Amino acid sequence: MLEFAQAHYLWLLLLLVAFYVGWLLARRYRKRRVTHAALWQRVAARVVPPAWKRLLRTILTLLVATTMLACVALYAAGLQRSPDEQPAPLVLVIMQDNTVSMRGADRRVQANKRARALLAALGEDDRALLAHFKFGQPLLGQWLQTGADPGPPPPTDFARPDLRALRAALESLPPPPNMPARPAPRRMLVWLGDGDPALPPMQGVQVVAESFGAAARNDAVIRARYTPPARGESQGGIVEAELLSGKDPIIACNGKRLEGRRVELPPILDSDEVTITVREPDALTDDDAISFRVPRSGIRTVALCHPASDGEANPFLKTLIETLLPGREVTTVAVPAAAPIKADLLVADRALPQSFDARALLLFGVALPGDSIGPPVRAEPNLRAPVERTDVGFEVPDLSLVHAREAVPLTQTGLAPLVRHIEGAVLVAASREPRPTLYCGFVPHQSTLLEDPAGRLLLLRFTDMVQAPAVPRVAPLLPAGKPVTLRATRNVKDTLSVAPHDRHLWQDSYRGPAVHLVHGPDGSVDWQVPDQPGQWLLKHGDVGVDMPSLVWFDPVEQALPFAPAGGDAMAAILPPARQSNWRDLLPALLLWLALGLLVLEWCLWLAGVLE
Amino acid sequence: MPEPLFDEAAMARIRNLRLNAQRVQRGGARGERLSRQFGAGQEFGAHRQYVQGDDLRRVDWNVYGRLDQLFVKLFELPGQLRVLLVADDAPTMDFGAHSKWLAARRALAAVGLVALHGAERVLACRLSDSKAEVFDGTGESRLLDYFGALATRGAGAVAAPARSLFETRGRDSVLVLASDFQQREPALQLLSDARRAGARAIAVCVHAAEELNPRLDGFTRLQPVAAHDLKLRVDERVLAAYKEELAHWREGTRRAVHGLGAALIELDSADPIEPLIVDLVRAGVVKA
């Protein structure tokens, strides 16, 4: 089947048609009636050119028409070479380096532009595909033709590229579809990166590496660790961080800016977020900061409710609460209250608001909805039943020395009874679920609870229990790529899932896979921490329980190395130079011959030789 | 229906013309002017409708008695002029946007009308006719009809000049020949016969504007009348050569006509008839 090499030249045939139509119209003889036939005969004998001139004119016309037609046909059909003479098509694999170092400055953008230029420079028969690494393995795209759009730069892959897998993939790469077997295509790998990748030799594949960008300085948070405070410590934990440059990092938390490699966080945090940053922005900005969440403090706000008839809250009770929970803000609320009460710890002194939201309850002489209280009783020292041993999260001290003029017992309750009156009524009760609750029938202003050491110890132990932070299942800062063992807190049958947190991962990078963690028989589970830095979300069912931040450190990549590879991919993809012969010049020669003949005919006409 | 040769205005101008033949002036009164010498025993020639001023003694009362119209008698004296009007009916005469053939017939008809008005004998024919049509003083309308219906001869017909025109009384004859002289031999033969018979000859050479200044350009297939086609690319050089050849031809025609003792008047077919009459007056053939 005939294929036109330069099909657009066929439009020149329209010019030839127009030329011949005009020529024929101009040479059309118009009939005119005349007289003086003898005079016209003599005139014709005088002015009609001789036969040789007419022959010359005819020859020139035929030559011009023939050469022009041949020229147009050759340009339109082209000089199709035999398959052996035609340049071999190119099978090009454009490998875009998507390691972390390519994120420095605009290396990725430059490499992507180069890929676009290479695609645009391909020949009609050439084919190319784009490739990059995903989780360390080569990922090959589909076959592209010249002028194809390479799309945006590939996402960053934090895993180490597997060059052997790349070699195996290229050596076994099947030829593109519809590519003729003759001549055999040239196979080439163009590596667009920031240095020589030191690829292993590949059989039948030419490798060209080209570097983009320039050397740049980079600083990064390469190590970070958070140590929670021990029970009883007044600080909020210790953050230890290290920068690639060796300088002191900047740690921001609770609206404060701290500097140092080891920093003690303030005890009370307005925010759970702690950010560790480098001192100055640099070429790679993604590793300049790490944010993580510290374990949440149990009690931050306290609401002290009292009957509105009292006028004010019991000052002794308020003072004691402030002593037990230093640093917390204690607000007093007269009940009934106009608005719902929201606090971490709600202390109800004989009055409980109808609507409230609290993590823990400390009740004095007022029962929860559903419970009921009995008439006040006199509680004399040493006249109470012994304390019942129940696991309520803290140990109840001996309250036998506390006496009350009017103690308010519970007659019906869902709480666990701890201290009973001698007559059997429940004076102290507690519960851990659904929220820590302590009921105390010793009303402060009617008893010696606040003055008695055992009474104070009871309140101290309860507040210690409710303000202790939840034990995290995983540390808030973890090194990326290293396994971590998680332990079940209660039920080993619970299933945990870990997924990347979309808002806290590096942009334009491959997300790590979401996994489910199943505890083993011993209650532990090993989690292979992924390579992708940023925050990950640990879920228990549908509820997020922890959000560890992965600290990624690769000294080679984060140093942003740059080494000119010295390759020129654009020059390499061009077909090898071929020796031209007369057939390549024939169309141009015919064109110039036609033009020359036209000029000759015109000159002869100007000179009067031709009519 | 043939186109009328003249309109009313042209007819009025023609009637005012009078013949003034040279020989008649030299030999005494002839025709109408001499008819006033009534009673000299002249031979009756023809009748003419009475006009105011005519001598009532010349009125033919017999005719009046038959027709109730006044006619005067015209007497043909021995020296009466014979006007011979010959139209060259060659096919080349039928040419031009303003037809040469029409122009020739108008010219001859005008001369004939003037002659009839002067009571001269008028003989008219085509160059290819062997016999001439005779018109006397009452034949104005017939003369107009004759020239109005006259047609050129076919391409194959041969012109044979009527020599019988000059067999008698040749010295009293005036020949007016209208031709384009493209077939020169028959016309020159007629002029030669007139010279031999002693008749005065006047040749009117009729040209068409397309012949004098042909408007041709580019590749042209020339189709000459009664000749083969000729392909030619006409440009300025060709037109100049044609005009040069035409000038030589006109000069040759003029010499040939003058060599036969005849006068030559060239007439453009697009011109009005008055300049021709002026030329005739200048030539002394007619006078106003």
Q: How confident is the model at residue B38 (pLDDT cuts 50, 70, 90)?
A: very low
pLDDT value for A296: 66
Weakest mean pLDDT among A17-21, B247-251, B272-276: B272-276
pLDDT value for B167: 65
DSSP A301: E
pLDDT value for B287: 46
Residues A330 and A456 in one domain: yes
Residues B69 and B104 in one domain: no
Q: How confident is the model at residue A1 (pLDDT cuts 50, 70, 90)?
A: very low
Residues B197 and B216 in one domain: yes
- Does A22 lie at the interface with B, CB-CB under 8 angstroms? no
Residue B37 has pLDDT above 70, yes or no: no
Q: Between helices B8-15 and B274-283, what is the axis angle to 10°? A: 10
**How far from A87 is each of A200, A242, A268, A577, B184, CA to CA, in Å?**
28, 57, 75, 9, 83
Q: Which residues of B touch A47 (CB under 8 A)?
A: 232, 237-238, 241
pLDDT value for B36: 33
Determine how many CB atoms are found less than 10 A away from the CB of residue B163. Answer: 13
Does the residue B20 lie in any domain?
no
Cα–Cα distance, A399 to A428 (Å, whole number): 10
Q: Both tokens of residue A586?
A: 């024939």
Q: Both tokens of residue B99?
A: 């037809």
Residues A479 and A542 in one domain: yes
Does the residue A85 lie in any domain?
no
Residues 6+ apart with CB under 8 A from A398: A387, A454
Does the residue B181 lie in any domain?
yes
Residue A602 has pLDDT above 60, yes or no: yes
pLDDT value for B20: 46
Q: Which of A92-101, A174-183, A273-282, A527-536 has the highest mean pLDDT?
A: A92-101
Residues A543 and A566 in one domain: no
Task: Give the β-pairing of B71-76 and A515-518.
Answer: unpaired
Residue length of chain B: 288
Residues A417 and A544 in one domain: no
pLDDT value for A25: 83
Q: How far apart are the first and last CA of chain B?
A: 32
Residues A190 and A248 in one domain: no
Task: Tell if the CB–CB gap between A34 and B233 is shorter than 8 Å.
Answer: no
CATH code: domain of residue A436: 3.40.50.880
pLDDT value for A9: 67
Answer for the pair B150, B133: CB distance below 8 angstroms, yes or no: no
Does the residue A1 lie in any domain?
no
Residue B23 has pLDDT above 50, yes or no: no
Q: What average pLDDT does this structure show over A103-125?
A: 90
Residues B157 and B269 in one domain: yes
pLDDT value for A54: 78
pLDDT value for A409: 92
Largest CA distance in chain B: 73
pLDDT value for A363: 94
- Does A271 lie at the interface with B, CB-CB under 8 angstroms? no
> Which among A24, A25, A32, A53 is the top mutation candidate for probing chain B, defined by the most B β-carbons within 10 Å of its own β-carbon?
A32
Residues B184 and B41 in one domain: no
Which range of residues forms the domain containing residue A237? 221-297+472-558
Give the percent of chain A with pLDDT over 90.
25
Task: Tell if the CB–CB gap between B241 and A27 is shorter than 8 Å.
Answer: no
Distance of CA A321 to the CA centre of its chain: 47
Does the residue B21 lie in any domain?
no
Total domain count for chain B? 2
Residues A505 and A542 in one domain: yes
Residues A324 and A443 in one domain: yes
Does the residue B151 lie in any domain?
yes
Residues A334 and A463 in one domain: yes
Residues A339 and A435 in one domain: yes
- Boundary of a domain, candidates A417, A439, A467: A467
Residues 6+ apart with CB under 8 A from B42: B35, B75, B76, B77
CATH code: domain of residue A183: 3.40.50.410
pLDDT value for A545: 77
Residues B118 and B250 in one domain: yes
Q: What average pLDDT does this structure show over A73-93?
A: 74
Residues B162 and B38 in one domain: no
Locate the chain A residue with the closest alpha carbon to B225: A35
Residue A117 has pLDDT above 60, yes or no: yes
Does the residue A325 lie in any domain?
yes
Could you read off the pLDDT of A319-364 as tens digits, one per residue? 999 888 877 778 999 988 888 898 989 999 999 998 998 889 999 9
Residues B136 and B100 in one domain: yes
pLDDT value for B255: 94
Question: How high is the mean pLDDT of chain B?
Answer: 78
Q: What average pLDDT does this structure show over A50-61?
A: 84
Residues A50 and A199 in one domain: no
Residues A396 and A312 in one domain: yes
Does the residue B22 lie in any domain?
no
Torsion, Cα of B41, B45, B51, B52 (10° steps)? -10
Of A3 and A112, the structure prediction assigns the larger pLDDT to A112
Q: Which residues of A touch B231 (CB under 8 A)?
A: 29
Task: Tell if the CB–CB gap between B222 and A32 is shorter than 8 Å.
Answer: yes
Q: Which of A76-80, B2-6, B85-89 has the highest mean pLDDT?
A: B85-89
Does the residue B26 lie in any domain?
no
Q: Which residues of B touch A28 (CB under 8 A)?
A: 219
pLDDT value for B282: 65
Residue B271 has pLDDT above 70, yes or no: yes
- ipTM passes above 0.90: no
Residues B93 and B68 in one domain: no
Q: How confident is the model at residue B168 (pLDDT cuts 50, 70, 90)?
A: low
3-state secondary structure of B51: coil
pLDDT value for B25: 38
pLDDT value for A84: 63
What distance in Å separates residue A606's CA from the closest CA in chain B?
A: 15
Task: Tell if the CB–CB gap between A37 and B242 is shorter than 8 Å.
Answer: no
> Which among B93, B231, B245 is the top mutation candidate for probing chain A, defined by the most A β-carbons within 10 Å of its own β-carbon?
B245
Residue A531 has pLDDT above 70, yes or no: yes
Which range of residues forms the domain containing residue B50? 31-76
pLDDT value for A113: 94
- Does A30 lie at the interface with B, CB-CB under 8 angstroms? yes
Of B120 and A450, the structure prediction assigns the larger pLDDT to A450
Q: What average pLDDT does this structure show over A201-207?
A: 85
Question: How high is the mean pLDDT of chain A?
Answer: 84
Q: How confident is the model at residue A14 (pLDDT cuts 50, 70, 90)?
A: confident
Does the residue A343 lie in any domain?
yes
Give the percent of chain A with pLDDT over 70.
91
Residues B283 and B159 in one domain: yes
Residues B198 and B238 in one domain: yes
Does the residue A611 lie in any domain?
no
pLDDT value for B155: 66
Task: Tell if the CB–CB gap between A39 and B249 is shorter than 8 Å.
Answer: yes
Task: Indicate if the alpha-carbon torsion angle A524, A530, A535, A538 is positive or negative.
Answer: negative
Task: Give the β-pairing of B200-207 and B173-179.
Answer: parallel
Could you read off the pLDDT of B42-53 as tens digits, one per residue? 556 667 788 877
Task: Tell if the CB–CB gap between A31 and B246 is shorter than 8 Å.
Answer: no
Residues B126 and B50 in one domain: no
Does the residue B124 lie in any domain?
yes
Residues B72 and B84 in one domain: no
pLDDT value for A519: 80
pLDDT value for A459: 92
Of A145 and A203, the structure prediction assigns the larger pLDDT to A145
Residue B133 has φ and ψ, to the nearest 5°, of -90, 135
CA neighbours closer than 13 Å in the CB half-sphere of residue B216: 30
Q: Both tokens of residue A324?
A: 């037990």
Total domain count for chain A? 4
CATH code: domain of residue B225: 3.40.50.410
Does the residue A368 lie in any domain?
yes
Does the residue A272 lie in any domain?
yes
Residues A402 and A331 in one domain: yes
- Boundary of a domain, candidates B59, B76, B93: B76
Nearest one of B75, B76, B69 to B49, comparing CA atoms: B69
Q: How confident is the model at residue A201 (pLDDT cuts 50, 70, 90)?
A: confident
Q: How confident is the model at residue B28 (pLDDT cuts 50, 70, 90)?
A: very low
Locate the chain A residue with the closest alpha carbon to B241: A43
Could you read off the pLDDT of B112-150 as tens digits, one per residue? 887 887 777 888 888 888 788 888 766 788 888 898 888
Of A26, A35, A47, the CB nearest to B224: A35
Task: Tell if the CB–CB gap between A39 and B245 is shorter than 8 Å.
Answer: yes
Task: Give the β-pairing of B218-224 and A30-34.
Answer: parallel
Cα–Cα distance, A317 to A209 (Å, whole number): 77
- Does A48 lie at the interface with B, CB-CB under 8 angstroms? yes
Does the residue B159 lie in any domain?
yes
pLDDT value for B30: 39
Residue A492 has pLDDT above 70, yes or no: no
Q: How confident is the model at residue A471 (pLDDT cuts 50, 70, 90)?
A: low
Task: Tell if the CB–CB gap between B237 and A47 is shorter than 8 Å.
Answer: yes
Q: How confident is the model at residue A423 (pLDDT cuts 50, 70, 90)?
A: confident
